[in-house]
Amino acid sequence: MTFEQLLNLLCDLHPDIDFATAEGLIDKKILTSFDVVSIAAELSETYGVELGAVDIVPENFNSARALFALIERREDE
Amino acid sequence: MRSILAYLNATADRLPHKLAFSDGETGLTFSALRRAAAGVGACLKNSGANREPVGVLMERGAQEVAAFLGVMEAGCFYVPLDEQMPRERLERIVRTLAPRFILSDKKNLTAAEGLCPAAEHLLYGGAAAFPAPDRLREEAEGEDLAYVVFTSGSTGEPKGVSIRNSSLLEYAETLPRVLGFDEGLVFGVQSPLYFDAYLKELLGVIVAGGTAYLLPRELFVNPMALIQYINDRGINALCWVSSAFSLVSRLRTFRAIRPQGVKLLCFGSEVLPVKQLTDWQQACPDARIFQLYGATECTGMSCFYPVVGPQDPDRPVPVGKPFPGTSLLLLNDQGKPDREGEIALGGKCVMAGYYHDPERTKAVLIPDPVGDLGLTFYRTGDLGRFDENGDLIFLGRRDQQVKHMGHRVELGEVEAAALSLKGVHEAACLYVADRQRIDLFYTGPAQPWDVVIGLKQKLPGYMTPSRTEQRPELPHLPNGKLDRRTIEQKEYGR
């Protein structure tokens, strides 16, 4: 999966947010718990990236960069 | 008639020092809860409040519960105003209510004054400490209102569901018995307090003597921390909307951590998919499990189904049978009782009506269709059928209303909000149930991000579309209405 694809996925959820630069997505409540579930489901169904419960913590979802870093770690496994 | 506050008197006499509600920061014991409610009640009465609406604009917390009970103690009815609601929606609600009194906390006082400059504003802190009798009222006027909560309305105007004291008392007398509440239960409250969903835990506390922790919202983006929080506090009863349960299990939380010692699981609002249900059954082997069904217009939950053992994955979990005292009918197209049709609920649970809205009230409250019970029935707009055991199976909505993240959403209200924006000519809202997503398609020159931002100012977060897309045109039916089926086929290929 590329960073571009991730940005597109996120943009689908919230077209008004510039995910390339936005920080604090969880802390500022831009992403809700249901967004997190949608993202995890989309990553699994479309890209075969499986996130586990240990991955679902605010640090990993606060920015697109942080999330992409997590995805790369999981893809390497 | 007995007041539900009489239950709090009895429980506070029996367990004065036991924790009743906690929000993590503030905890109130039963005697502190009673004292605060008595203070708020006395303060409101002293200000001249009497059998009228009192708006409550406070942070979600133990003190907000005391404020609600205090409003009832004053013989008034509470109307929760959520601090997270968009300004425009709050203004509409306040216009409908025209409250003379608003109760708020320090954090929300300025907002409350701006929202309703004509009202008298009372601060919770001072009100709760107001000199008051030791005990709360034991009696209440059954016909008087206990609370009004606002729900989504298809025209864009929220509807104020008005619930009588007699309905709330009926709920207090049946729900704890049906679900087997006892004082050993420790609830983890997922719901916001501005909906009726939290009444389950309220009754579990004041009637049965249990304890309730209001779960911080941010825990739901961190499921492992959520389960840890539950285990650390000995929380053993979860009455959540089904989407909150499936959120935890879909993220495969139970592979890493399991809730300990859970005794009771109640799924409300939507039917939990069997796959998610099975995960919870395995994670909580000792829990009694119920699927619940009800409507805000009927004081919360009205039907229950005890889930025992493995469930057939090819069949939806039934929502079961009505609570004692509640009548359930399925009305066919002729409005006659049948095996399948629109779900109608009758009995003391049925609301007094929509606040100051006789027209929309008349559209949903009907006299007894059988004619021999003398009850008023509420037409839910939900479709159902009875299975071979006489259990109710929920089949979906007959109109444009959907359940999204446990909230009731009229897609028409989202469309009405979009149409009120500059540069939006037509708007069609669709619900993608399997993705739990609201999609909006519109025509007109407005840019999608302007539409998104405009909608965020008008609608609560859970109602704003996940996807907003501009289209050159939208298909129509011969009668000129939008052709939603064709839109659905074009957009999703089904």
Range of the structural domain that residue A15 is part of: 3-76
Nearest to B420 by CA among B151, B79, B189, B155: B155
Q: What is the mean pLDDT of residues B170-186?
A: 97
pLDDT at B208: 98
Radius of gyration from C-alpha coordinates of chain B? 22
Q: Give the tens place of pLDDT for each residue, B409-447.
A: 888 888 888 988 989 988 999 998 777 789 999 998 999
Give the CB-side neighbour count of residue B85, counting CA atoms within 13 A.
28
| pLDDT value for A36 | 86
- Give yes or no for a contact between B396 and B382, defined as CB atoms under 8 angstroms apart: yes
**Structure tokens, A32:** 């809700």
pLDDT at B123 over 90: yes
> Residues of B with CB below 8 A from A16's CB?
449, 452-453, 456
Which of A13-22, B13-22, B153-162 has maximum average pLDDT?
Answer: B13-22
Q: What pLDDT does B268 receive? A: 85
Q: Name the most confidently modeled range: A26-35, B158-167, B468-477.
A: B158-167
Q: Kindly list the residues from chain A whose CB atom is less than 8 angstroms away from the CB atom of residue B470.
A: none
Q: How far from B299 is each of A27, B79, B341, CA to CA, in Å?
A: 35, 14, 22
* Lowest-confidence pick of B158-172, B178-192, B210-224, B467-481: B467-481
Q: Provide the domain count of chain A.
A: 1
- Report yes or no: B494 and B438 within 8 Å, Cβ to Cβ: no
Closest C-alpha to B296, from B171, B396, B415? B171
pLDDT at residue A17 above 80? yes
Which residues in chain B touch residue A36, judged by CB atoms under 8 angstroms apart?
221, 251
Compute the mean pLDDT over every residue in chain B, rounded to the nearest whole number: 92
What is the helix (H) or strand (E) element at residue B306, kind and residue range?
strand B300-307
pLDDT at A15 over 80: no
User: For chain B, which domains are there?
Assistant: 5-214 (3.40.50.12780), 215-399 (3.40.50.12780), 401-492 (3.30.300.30)
Query: Which of B221, B228, B251 has the most A C-beta neighbours within 10 Å, making it the best mutation to test the interface with A?
Result: B221
Query: Residue B344 corresponds to which tokens in the numbers above?
Result: 């109608």
- Say whether B256 and A54 touch across the interface (CB within 8 A): yes
B477 touches chain A (CB under 8 A): no
The helix (run of H) or strand (run of E) holding residue B223 is helix B223-232
Query: Average pLDDT, stretch B223-233?
Result: 95
Q: For chain B, give me the number of helices (H) and strands (E)?
A: 15, 26
Other residues' Cβ atoms within 10 Å of the Cβ of residue B478: 6
Q: Which of these, B275, B394, B384, B300, lies nearest to B350 by C-alpha position?
A: B300
Which amino acid appears at position B34 of this protein? R
Band the pLDDT of B82: cuts 50, 70, 90: confident
Q: Do B221 and A32 touch (CB under 8 A)?
A: yes
Tell me whether B456 touches chain A (CB under 8 Å). yes
Which of B233, B82, B80, B228 is CA-nearest to residue B163? B80
pTM: 0.87
The confidence score (pLDDT) of residue A37 equals 80
Contacts of B437 in chain A (CB under 8 A): 38
Closest residue by Cα to residue B462 from B479, B427, B432, B438: B438
pLDDT for B270: 77
% of chain A with per-residue pLDDT over 90: 36
User: What single-letter DSSP state applies at residue B316?
Assistant: P
> What is the three-class DSSP state of B343?
strand
Position with higher pLDDT, B192 vs B41:
B41
Q: Which chain B residues touch A31 with a CB distance below 8 Å?
A: 221
Q: Nearest CA of chain B to the CA of A38: how many Å?
A: 7
The token pair that represents B449 in the structure block: 């991000």
pLDDT at B11 over 70: yes
Measure the CA–CA gap between B2 and B311, rounded to whole angstroms.
41
| Residues of chain B numbered 6-45 and touching chain A (CB < 8 Å) | none
Any chain A CB within 8 A of the CB of B251?
A: yes
Q: What is the pLDDT of residue B144?
A: 97
Nearest C-alpha neighbor of B148 from the set B249, B55, B251, B62: B55
pLDDT for residue B206: 97
* Edge-to-edge strand list for the sheet holding B19-22: B27-29, B19-22, B211-214, B186-189, B237-241, B264-268, B288-295, B300-307, B321-322
The residue-averaged pLDDT of B239-257 equals 89
Question: Residue range B161-170: average pLDDT?
Answer: 97
The span from the CA of B392 to the CA of B347, in Å, is 17
For residue B429, give the amino acid letter.
C
Residue B153 has pLDDT above 80, yes or no: no
Report chain A residues whose CB lies below 8 A from the CB of B455.
none
Whether A34 has a pLDDT exceeding 80, the answer reads no
Sole residue written with tokens 């579309």: B465
Higher-pLDDT residue of B349, B193: B349
Q: Give the pLDDT score at B154.
A: 67
Please check the confidence at residue B88 and state whether its pLDDT lies above 90: no
Amino acid B477: pLDDT: 77
CB atoms B250 and A41 under 8 Å: yes
Whether the complex's predicted ipTM is more than 0.85 is answered with no
Q: What would the mean pLDDT of B99-109 be, rounded to a whole number?
A: 97
Would you place residue B479 in the very low, low, confident or very high pLDDT band (cuts 50, 70, 90)?
low
A45 has a pLDDT exceeding 70: yes
Nearest CA in chain A to B450: A16
What values do phi and psi take at A64, rounded to 5? -60, -35
Q: What pLDDT shows up at residue B494?
A: 67
Q: Is the pLDDT of residue B263 over 70?
A: yes
Confidence of residue B178 (pLDDT cuts 50, 70, 90): very high
What would the DSSP string read from start to end of A19-77?
Answer: TTT---TTTTTSS-HHHHHHHHHHHHHHH-----GGG-SHHHHSSHHHHHHHHHHHHH-
Check whether B274 has a pLDDT greater than 80: yes
The residue assigned the tokens 């601060």 is B123
Nearest CB to A34; choose among B223, B436, B456: B436
What is the pLDDT, as a whole number, of residue B476? Answer: 83
Q: Is the pLDDT of residue B308 over 80?
A: yes
Q: Collect all residues of chain B within an 8 Å Cβ-Cβ radius of residue A26.
A: 218, 221
CATH number of the domain at A18, please: 1.10.1200.10
Mean local confidence (pLDDT), B274-292: 95
